[in-house]
Every structure is written in C-alpha cells, then in structure tokens.
Amino acid sequence: MARDNDQVKKAFELVRLGDEAVLKENYLNEDGVYHLEVDLRKSSPFDPYAGTRALDPSLFTYVDSFRKAMVNLAPIAVDFLVEDPRQEEERLIEEAFRRHYRMELCECQRERKRLKIVSAVFLLVGALLLALAIAMGFTDFGLVDDVIGEIVSIAAWVFVWAAVEKVFFDLRDLKKDAIYNAVMSLTDISFKRRGNADAGNDRP
C-alpha cells in the first residue's frame, strides 16, 4: 500500500512539473539548447528509394516526435552520431535533412493558398444563398416556398460556417505547421564520432 501511495505521489509530481521536467533532465545542454541525438551508426540514414536525396522517413518521425514536445519552439540542435568521419556523406545528410523541411514548408504554403481560395468561394456562395433566402422571405407561395426557403437558409449558413472554419482553424494550423517546418529547416546540425560522442568534440 505504501508503495502504491509513493507511485501516486510521484505521478502527481510529474503532472505538476509538466513536460519541462523530463525535457530538461534528458536533453537540455549547458548552452540552453535542447540537443537531440540521432544515432546513424547501425544503418544507412538515406531512403533506399531516393539515393542520397532524401533521408529515411522514420528518422523524421523520431525527430518530429521530440520537436513537437517542445514548448513555444524552444531552440534545439540535432546531433547525428556517425561511425566514420566522412565529410561528404555528412554534407549529404545535412542537405537532405534541410531539404525535407523546406519541401514540407512549400507544401504548407501551397495548401494555405488553396484554402484561402476555397474559403473565399464558400463565403461568396454562402452570401448568395443567404441573399436568396432573404429574398424568398418576401414571397408567399405557401408551404413549399417556406420549406425551400428554410433549406436555402440552412445551406447558406453551412457554407458561411465552412468558410469561417477554414480561415480561423485550418489556416491557423497550417500557419503553425509552416513556421514549424521553417524553423526545423534552419536547425543547428552537428556530427559526433563514435569515439568522442560524449566528449563534445563536434564539427558544426
């Protein structure tokens, strides 16, 4: 029972401290930057279908899961652990890493432009339908006219709400993604050799 109580107390303490406790303990360096180590010593980091133009997607799954746990885009650095000092391969790895996030940024920008056009069209259609519904309110053709007018009014507000949702929610999320990808494309990258991975003798 005492052990269970200790676990509960520790759980509440973790909740109180939040994510910063884990991140500072494991990743925060003395320079105030969160360092993420990516071990490339056991397998090739490149996507087998892309040659040296792209890195393995699982690498970005790992990096993004770490990066998105950070608060307010805190400064981070990615430290690649490598087996042999081959500068040409390191250059290709860094270029592929940055290229990935630049391409993601381009995709976000294109999607933002598309959403702006779609939301404007939806808003225009909603306004036209709403005007039609109001105009039908001044006519009196019986029950059928009332039903059609109600349907048109509902459709108008659906289009208006869809436009508002895209502007205030979808576009906001895409802007956050764009900022994230832009920051990641500029992330500090270093390479550590196997023999001095813990000695801090890095090549920026």
> 3-class secondary structure for 2-69?
HHHHHHHHHHHHHHHHCHHHHHHHHCECCCCCEEEEEECCCCCCECCCCCCCCECHHHHHHHHHHHCC
DSSP, collapsed to helix, strand or coil, labels residue 76 as strand
Spatial separation of the C-alpha atoms in residues 77 and 73, rounded to whole Å: 12
Which long-range contacts does 14-23 make (Cβ < 8 Å, 24+ apart)?
19/69, 19/71, 20/71, 23/69, 23/70
Residue type, 198: D
Q: Are 78 and 188 in contact (CB under 8 A)?
A: yes
Spatial separation of the C-alpha atoms in residues 149 and 139, rounded to whole Å: 10
| Residue 86 confidence (pLDDT) above 70 | yes
| Mean pLDDT computed over 21-38 | 73
At 124-136, the pLDDT tens digits run: 999 999 888 888 7
Please give the pLDDT value at position 119.
94
Q: How far is CA 137 from the centre of its chain?
A: 46
Reported as a pLDDT band with limits 50, 70 and 90, residue 14 is low
At 37-73, the pLDDT tens digits run: 899 988 889 999 998 899 999 999 999 988 777 656 6
| Residue 101 confidence (pLDDT) above 90 | yes
Count of beta carbons in the 10 Å neighbourhood of residue 203: 10
